[in-house]
Amino acid sequence: MKKMMTAAVVALLLASCGSNSTTRLTGVFAPDSMAAEAEVIVGDQIDTTVAVVDGQFTLDVPADAKALAYAMADGKQIMFVSDGSAIKLDFENNKAVSANKRGVNARLENYLAWNESFMKDFQAKMEAASKEEQEDLLDKAEDEYNDYLVKTVKENSDNVVSLLAVTSLELDDDDEMLALLNGLDESLKQDPRIQSMISAYDAAAKTAEGKMFTDFEVDGVKFSDFIGKGKYVLVDFWASWCGPCRREMPNLRAVYDEFHGEKFDMLSVAVWDKPEDTAVAAAEEKITWNQIVNAQRIPTEIYGIQGIPHIILFGPDGTILKRNLRGEKIREAVADALDD
């Protein structure tokens, strides 16, 4: 149970910790509000409850532009950034208003508003488009979204907005992603999500196209039992619960039916999934080629895979020829390799 703390007590604690930078929060409620207390969370620094007196409260909290903060009361939750400015928490209108009109809170508000507008516009266009037009719309939207996220990360490399943007970003160029991640403020790079991403992109760089495959073993079955044995092998890292994975299955079945033989084979590697769910989905999807099940995070950490499906084409000697294949590019890559 959280301890009730007055503003004076929190201020005293901050002073005792030697804090030189605080944010003054003023919570304001509607005249008919019955709120008696509010909970305030600032990253992992403060999680406290403060009394609401005469429809308002005042609280000093640590300034931390690198973490999201939340204030909860009256059944509402207001998200903000404790940026060292005076912030009004307006529970009547459910919003935070910072005295710094060009600060991190304004950037956060703009980022969230842009995302909402972008998604509404994209969904409207997709609903109005024909099936043939939708794939082109999807590609264009992905490019536009990624361009905006890259710009946002670069402009907010020292605050939490960059964390929101970079963790939503998917770039095909691993070097570009690593450059963005390594360009973040050193304190931001200590965030577990960023550390995980840096590790993943480092792994992806070590297993990039042109590199030799890295072996692993799951329940006595080795990746090298299938890779580097003289055949081209298309490997699909997937999971039963993954919608995009299941949608690629018709493409994979078509490629297997067309090319399977002395020079070409396929392998599905089930990750992040329960073996029993994999078995059911494999039967439903008519997977007749080789499988490795229950691989969990072993191969995804080795190959720096952050999202699935992730489809890789390996050469006869185990060289990684193509990564992250999707849709028509799967057949094109296999056909080109076999024609060489």
Digit-coded pLDDT (tens) for 251-286? 999 999 999 999 999 999 999 999 999 999 999 999
Question: In this predicted model, what pLDDT tens digit does every residue of 24-52 receive, in sequence order?
Answer: 999 999 999 999 999 999 998 899 999 99
What amino acid is encoded at 148 in this protein? Y
Q: Look at residue 4 and tell me whether its pLDDT is greater than 70.
A: no
Residue 212 within any structural domain of the chain:
no
Domain boundary among 81, 99, 117: 99
- Stretch 161-165: mean pLDDT: 95
Same domain, 310 and 241: yes
**pLDDT for 17 beyond 80:** no
pTM (2 d.p.): 0.69
Asked if 112 and 92 sit in the same domain, the reply is no
Residue range 87-114, pLDDT digits in tens: 999 999 999 999 999 999 999 999 999 9
- Give the closest residue to 302 by CA, choosing from 224, 234, 200: 200
Model pLDDT, residue 12: 40
Question: Can you give the residue range of the structural domain that contains 326?
Answer: 217-339
**Are 69 and 124 within one domain?**
no
In a domain, 294, yes or no: yes
Q: Report d(CA 251, CA 86) in Å as an integer.
A: 56
Do both 38 and 127 map to the same domain?
Answer: no
Would you say 60 and 54 are in contact if contact means Cβ atoms under 8 Å apart? no
Residue 130 lies in a domain: yes
Q: Which residue has the tokens 């994999």?
A: 278
Residue at which a domain ends, from 99, 115, 131: 99
CB within 8 Å of 266: residues ≥ 6 apart: 233, 234, 235, 236, 252, 255, 256, 260, 289, 290
The tally of domains found in the chain comes to 3
Residues 188 and 228 occupy one common structural domain: no
pLDDT band at 8 (very low <50, low <70, confident <90, very high): very low
Mean pLDDT of all residues in the chain? 92
Model confidence pLDDT, tens digit, residues 54-92: 999 999 999 999 999 999 999 999 999 999 999 999 999
Domain annotation covers residue 264: yes
Same domain, 327 and 232: yes
